A and B are shown apart, each in its own frame.
Chain A
Amino acid sequence: MDKYDKLYEKWFDENNHFKPAINKQLDVNIDILKKLFADAGDIVQKEFYLRRIQGSIRIYVVYVDGLVDRGVIEDGILKPLLYEWRLTDGRDLMESILHRETHTVDIKKEPDFDKVLLGILKGDTAIFIQGYDQALIVSTKKYPLRSISENDTEGGLRGPRDSFNESFRFSTALIRRRIRDPKLKCEQGTIGQRSKTDYGIMYIKDLAEPELVKKIKEKLNAYDIDGIFDSGMAEHLMEDNWYSVFPMFQATTRPDKVASGILEGRVAVVFDNSPEVVLAPCNFNMLLQASDDYYNRWAVGTFARLIRYVAALIAITLPGFYIAATMFHSEILPTKLLYAIASARSMVTFPIVVEMLIMEFLFELLREAGIRLPGPLGNTIGIVGGLIVGQSAVEAGIVSTIVVIVVALSAIASFAIPNEEFVSVYRLMKFFIIITSATLGLFGFMLGLLVIAIHLSELKSFGVPYMTPAVAGDGERAWANGDFIFRAPIKTMRKRPFWTNYKNRDRLKERD
């Protein structure tokens, strides 16, 4: 065990909290910081002397290079403290720095060494002063970030185009920009013993059920984990039905979607370093809704939703149905179509199910390769795969043309689903249906769908049935907000969904 191991054992408890307190003797603090940040080249530590009426006073400044705005440190803190001679009126030095001398608003006293360290690692600057057992924390964060860019995963023809980026603060700002309500709360905390990732629970106090907020907080604090690097990881920790393939949160990069969710009494959880904000509760219907549905006219929105529901059905069932119909029940097919399929298959070596699995695997392979490759190359692989490999596979007698059409149709249908996480589930379910159909024909096809339906009907996201409003527990309540496959005109969507705080269910009223 080297000397650092012994020190770390002495300084940190089992939850990785720093135990020592800030000492009034600055040298003690400096010694701790130097040992703690030994071999950490990006940590800047420097001692300064302030000239005051009491004499020369030592201060010690610590920050992480690259995470801070040096302009704020130099112009807002060091310059006023070092170059300006101040005749203090005898008031306490720390109070004087805090309230009079520094040129920044976001500065506070912090007695807890652990929180000071956390502040430093988040990009704040810590100032230790000789004779004080507290430190000053100045907010100087300036992370290397990409700017707010156009949304490329949840696009739409109408509506705002901005999207969240990896900055926690930008994300909260984009939400608050849309909801200027003082009752919009953002309860912040950190998660991850080592990553100390910032998160914020955002909700409107009088719309979100207090029980829901409490439950989300409990879930966030239920585990000790090394690090959280994306909202997806936290999402999986928070959900009850961890074994299910269906997402229990709605993850989105669209600030307007989050704002609209919050106005429906839902709770958003924003994580630092993650461009996806998660919303709870969530249901199946929400994952098939797009923001444009509300921005376009009601009939257009309804039609788009109908198309998406049909697409979802095709994405999951078409390959399985094709297998069942051609392998077991060819009588169901129109005669000419059957002849076309049989004729096309006359050159194919493999049984229908193997043929389908080969083509589906090929498609998944191309998709995976396309994601890993940079933009233009990704597009190229799609074209190469789709046209050349597909065409060659048909000519070589590995697959038939009809199977290429079926796989392409189900793939296109899955792309119509507006939530990427949900699309992945559909891809998995498609394989499940293929297997059940290949085993027992249409009977297996239906048993497969039944298993999925049974599973879906038992799921709940924070107490809300996942298949709401198709199963709402109460017929009238299901249609209260007119927001299912049929998207009611905005004028008639007068009620918030039933999970909203029951005292504030009205969202639209006519003025007197």
Chain B
Amino acid sequence: MYTQNNMISTRQCFRTGILENITLGMVVIPYVSVNLAGKWHFPAMLIGLLMGGVYMAFMYALSKSVTKDTLEDLKSLKGVGGAIGILYSIRFLIRIGIVLYFFGKTMQEYLLQSYNLWVIIIAFVLVCGYGAARDIEKRGRMLELLFPWMVVPIILVAVFAISNINLDELLEGLRGVNYENIRGEAGFLDVLKAGYVCFLVMSTSELLLFTMPYQKENSWRNALKLGLWILISIFLAYIFIIGILGGHWVASDSQAALNVMEAAFIPGGFIERADYPVLIFWVIGVFAIVSGYIFYARKGWEICRACIKGSAVTKGKLSLWIVMILACLAAWLWSLPDISVYLAQYMLWADVAISLIIPVILLNRSGSITSLKAVKKQLGAVVILVLITASLSGCVNKEFAPISKARESIEGREYVTNITFNGEEDITFTVADIKKYIKDATGTFETKEEKLTGESLTQVMDEYHNENGRQLDIGHLDGITFKDVADDRVREYALEMSNISHMGKSVVVTIKDSQGEKKIDLRQLIKCAYSGEEFP
């Protein structure tokens, strides 16, 4: 009755496509292109977008030629179908692993420093599994509903952060002026490689091949609209990120892009930091990708099972749990430096090739036997590659451990209003005494000063915590002052502060020395620290 037809609407397909394809691209592509191509980052990004566009067009063309049940139809190929099913399953698991690892690390660094990465990943995989346990129609409805929750906050932040873009600096950045020291002299092959990696980030668009056949009206207009929106969104995000943060910062930190959101000023000041809510809504996009991959990884598994048993393709709950557990393990594999090298190589050279070759062969599955032989050979090569990388497990690492101690409850902290760096190692914290803040009803408070000594900011703060039992909170600073601190030391402090996620980057920094006084915001200081430029 009504909508029970196992189809999705044009709007659902569009929203699913956008969520699955812009979430990672917007954050990762700026880092990849600047990090790998240096001053030629802009052409590299354009090459990546071009390749991504062509790939999407290819997927659309294929989707016009296959039926809704393409994957289920693999069953008719018997043994080969089962092998393709399990291969697809493994491929998606590898992809889930890298997304989960990157996402988990981001969440850990920005929001949950005192949590083990496993907790974050497992909680997320459970929710993704819940989302993946639905048919395509319900999945379409789910992502259609979630779409505005991610897109509207991003648009709002873009609007509120636009004033932070310095147009001249942006244009220079796009031309690569002063970007030479990021990666020495990047050659033509480096640019191509960077473009290719950008394209790899966009390879989530493979999912369109499986989604589009379910669309009620799978027309080229709809596909073109979707493709253009994906490319334009990634392009605009790129401009924003480079324009606000500068290439040096972006090239140094794969998660730097998230700092763009911090630059947004929300009118009325009812939220101090805009990046936190946006980061949280970004979870929806990653959910779309991971739940999609789990959905198809499970399908591949079920096809293999059906081929072995000779039964129909069914959706068992056990397979979902197995895929979820394997997804967590895949994330762990990506955290192992020895294995991630092989996985990265596989991703670089084999994964996209498989996603291009196998659909083409599937189209000819009812054709000549020679094509099946070709499939078998390629399958064999890829399976061996995957098995080799998988067998290299067993390394030990500390990557999943918490990266900081748990924070004290809000009444157990000292709220720092100003930090003053004196000379090389003296740091003075001006702390607000807020015990009588409400009782006095004046909205004012007294301050006290804590003079400490140490090599780094975090070390000093940790020592204070250990000695006094109260934690210094630097999330609400009014200002930072450097008094007679050498430039190199200022840069060291700035780089350290760039990695403290709960510290606002819009704080005003005053640099005092014998020549006078300079005022810049912390974001600008960090940019200079990364690029090695003179302070403005």
**Is residue B177 within 8 Å, beta carbon to beta carbon, of the partner chain?**
no
Residues of B1-30 contacting chain A, CB below 8 A:
1-4, 8-12
B438:A447 contact, CB within 8 angstroms: no
**Is residue B512 within 8 Å, beta carbon to beta carbon, of the partner chain?**
no
Interface residues of A (CB under 8 A from B): 209, 211-212, 215, 326-336, 338-346, 348, 351-352, 401, 439-447, 450-451, 453-454, 456-458, 460, 462-465, 467, 470-475, 498-499
**Is residue B332 within 8 Å, beta carbon to beta carbon, of the partner chain?**
no
**Bound Cα distance from A327 to B134, whole angstroms:** 34
Q: For residue A212, which residues in chain B have a CB less than 8 angstroms away from its CB? A: 1
Give B413-429 as 1s and 0s: 1 = Cβ < 8 Å from A's Cβ atoms.
10100000000000000
Given contacts A443-B120, A458-B138, 7 further A-B contacts (CB under 8 A): A328-B112, A332-B276, A338-B410, A339-B437, A345-B411, A401-B438, A443-B111
B141:A331 contact, CB within 8 angstroms: no
**Is residue B341 within 8 Å, beta carbon to beta carbon, of the partner chain?**
no
**Is residue B432 within 8 Å, beta carbon to beta carbon, of the partner chain?**
yes
Q: For residue B438, which residue of chain A has the nearest CB?
A: A343
B3:A329 contact, CB within 8 angstroms: no
B415:A450 contact, CB within 8 angstroms: no
B131:A454 contact, CB within 8 angstroms: yes
- Interface pick from B35-43, B265-273, B297-305: B265-273
Q: Of B12, B112, B131, B409, which contacts A450 at CB under 8 A?
A: B131
**Bound Cα distance from A346 to B445, whole angstroms:** 15
CB-CB under 8 A for A339 and B415, given A331-B272, A332-B271, A447-B127: yes
* Cβ distance B343 to chain A, nearest Cβ, rounded Å: 25
CB-CB under 8 A for A442 and B123, given A211-B1, A338-B415, A471-B141: no
A330:B123 contact, CB within 8 angstroms: no
**Bound Cα distance from A401 to B276, whole angstroms:** 26
B2:A340 contact, CB within 8 angstroms: no
B277:A457 contact, CB within 8 angstroms: no
**Is residue B475 within 8 Å, beta carbon to beta carbon, of the partner chain?**
yes
Q: For residue B139, which residue of chain A has the nearest CB?
A: A457
Could you write out 11 A-B pairs with CB less than 8 Å apart?
A328-B407, A331-B475, A352-B410, A440-B123, A441-B111, A441-B112, A443-B112, A450-B131, A454-B131, A463-B2, A473-B3
- Among A330, A401, A472, max chain B CB count under 10 A is at A330
**Is residue B73 within 8 Å, beta carbon to beta carbon, of the partner chain?**
no
A332:B127 contact, CB within 8 angstroms: no
Q: For residue A444, which residue of chain B has the nearest CB?
A: B123
Residues of B97-120 contacting chain A, CB below 8 A:
107, 111-112, 115, 119-120
A336:B145 contact, CB within 8 angstroms: no
* Cβ distance A67 to chain B, nearest Cβ, rounded Å: 40
* Cβ distance B345 to chain A, nearest Cβ, rounded Å: 32
A334:B271 contact, CB within 8 angstroms: yes
Residues of B262-309 contacting chain A, CB below 8 A:
269-273, 276-277, 279-281, 283-284, 287
CB-CB under 8 A for A332 and B2, given A443-B120, A450-B283: no
B123:A340 contact, CB within 8 angstroms: no
CB-CB under 8 A for A463 and B4, given A445-B280, A456-B145: yes
**Bound Cα distance from A450 to B127, whole angstroms:** 8
Q: Of B1, B112, B436, which contacts A343 at CB under 8 A?
A: B436
B283:A446 contact, CB within 8 angstroms: yes
- Among A209, A328, A329, A451, max chain B CB count under 10 A is at A329
**Bound Cα distance from A467 to B269, whole angstroms:** 33
Q: For residue A466, which residue of chain B has the nearest CB?
A: B141
B1:A458 contact, CB within 8 angstroms: no
* Cβ distance A347 to chain B, nearest Cβ, rounded Å: 9
B111:A339 contact, CB within 8 angstroms: no
A446:B1 contact, CB within 8 angstroms: no
CB-CB under 8 A for A447 and B283, given A338-B410, A463-B1: yes
B4:A457 contact, CB within 8 angstroms: no
B131:A473 contact, CB within 8 angstroms: no
B146:A453 contact, CB within 8 angstroms: yes
**Bound Cα distance from A338 to B411, whole angstroms:** 10
B438:A329 contact, CB within 8 angstroms: no
**Is residue B443 within 8 Å, beta carbon to beta carbon, of the partner chain?**
yes
CB-CB under 8 A for A471 and B145, given A212-B1, A463-B2: yes
Q: For residue B277, which residues in chain A have a CB less than 8 angstroms away from its CB? A: 332, 442
**Is residue B144 within 8 Å, beta carbon to beta carbon, of the partner chain?**
yes
**Is residue B351 within 8 Å, beta carbon to beta carbon, of the partner chain?**
no
**Bound Cα distance from A329 to B9, whole angstroms:** 39
Q: Of B10, B138, B276, which contacts A442 at CB under 8 A?
A: B276
CB-CB under 8 A for A328 and B111, given A456-B145, A458-B138: yes
Q: For residue B148, which residue of chain A has the nearest CB?
A: A470
Q: For residue A468, which residue of chain B has the nearest CB?
A: B3
Q: Of A340, A442, A451, A463, which contacts B437 at CB under 8 A?
A: A340
B504:A331 contact, CB within 8 angstroms: yes
**Bound Cα distance from A332 to B110, whole angstroms:** 12
**Bound Cα distance from A441 to B124, whole angstroms:** 13
**Bound Cα distance from A385 to B78, whole angstroms:** 70
Q: Of A344, A441, A451, which contacts B127 at CB under 8 A?
A: A451
A342:B410 contact, CB within 8 angstroms: yes
**Bound Cα distance from A462 to B435, whole angstroms:** 57
* Cβ distance A361 to chain B, nearest Cβ, rounded Å: 21
* Cβ distance A477 to chain B, nearest Cβ, rounded Å: 9
**Bound Cα distance from A311 to B8, whole angstroms:** 31
* Cβ distance A463 to chain B, nearest Cβ, rounded Å: 3
Q: For residue A343, which residues in chain B have a CB less than 8 angstroms away from its CB? A: 434-439
B280:A443 contact, CB within 8 angstroms: yes
B12:A473 contact, CB within 8 angstroms: yes
B415:A342 contact, CB within 8 angstroms: yes
**Bound Cα distance from A345 to B437, whole angstroms:** 11
A326:B112 contact, CB within 8 angstroms: no
* Cβ distance A482 to chain B, nearest Cβ, rounded Å: 17
B438:A340 contact, CB within 8 angstroms: yes
CB-CB under 8 A for A334 and B270, given A342-B434, A346-B435, A447-B123: yes
* Cβ distance A427 to chain B, nearest Cβ, rounded Å: 22
CB-CB under 8 A for A458 and B146, given A329-B276, A331-B502, A343-B436: no
A341:B130 contact, CB within 8 angstroms: no
A334:B269 contact, CB within 8 angstroms: yes
A465:B3 contact, CB within 8 angstroms: yes
CB-CB under 8 A for A464 and B134, given A450-B283, A474-B11: no
Residues of B351-407 contacting chain A, CB below 8 A:
407
* Cβ distance A378 to chain B, nearest Cβ, rounded Å: 33
Q: Of A335, A345, A441, A465, which contacts B410 at CB under 8 A?
A: A345
Q: For residue A339, which residues in chain B have a CB less than 8 angstroms away from its CB? A: 415, 432, 434, 437, 445
Q: For residue A326, which residues in chain B have a CB less than 8 angstroms away from its CB? A: 410
A335:B272 contact, CB within 8 angstroms: yes
Q: For residue B271, which residue of chain A has the nearest CB?
A: A332
Q: For residue B72, which residues in chain A have a CB less than 8 angstroms away from its CB? A: none
Q: For residue A215, which residues in chain B have a CB less than 8 angstroms away from its CB? A: 1
CB-CB under 8 A for A338 and B476, given A447-B123, A450-B127: yes
Q: Of A329, A450, A457, which contacts B138 at CB under 8 A?
A: A457
Q: For residue A439, which residues in chain B have a CB less than 8 angstroms away from its CB? A: 123
**Bound Cα distance from A460 to B111, whole angstroms:** 35
**Bound Cα distance from A471 to B287, whole angstroms:** 18
Q: Of B115, B141, B473, which contacts A473 at CB under 8 A?
A: B141
* Cβ distance B501 to chain A, nearest Cβ, rounded Å: 9
* Cβ distance A239 to chain B, nearest Cβ, rounded Å: 15
**Bound Cα distance from A475 to B439, whole angstroms:** 55
- Among B134, B142, B445, max chain A CB count under 10 A is at B142
* Cβ distance A474 to chain B, nearest Cβ, rounded Å: 5
Q: For residue B287, which residues in chain A have a CB less than 8 angstroms away from its CB? A: 450
Q: For residue A463, which residues in chain B have a CB less than 8 angstroms away from its CB? A: 1-4
Residues of B77-96 contacting chain A, CB below 8 A:
none
B2:A498 contact, CB within 8 angstroms: yes
* Cβ distance B437 to chain A, nearest Cβ, rounded Å: 4
Q: For residue B270, which residue of chain A has the nearest CB?
A: A334
A471:B144 contact, CB within 8 angstroms: yes
A464:B3 contact, CB within 8 angstroms: yes
Q: Of A342, A457, A460, which contacts B411 at CB under 8 A?
A: A342
B276:A330 contact, CB within 8 angstroms: no
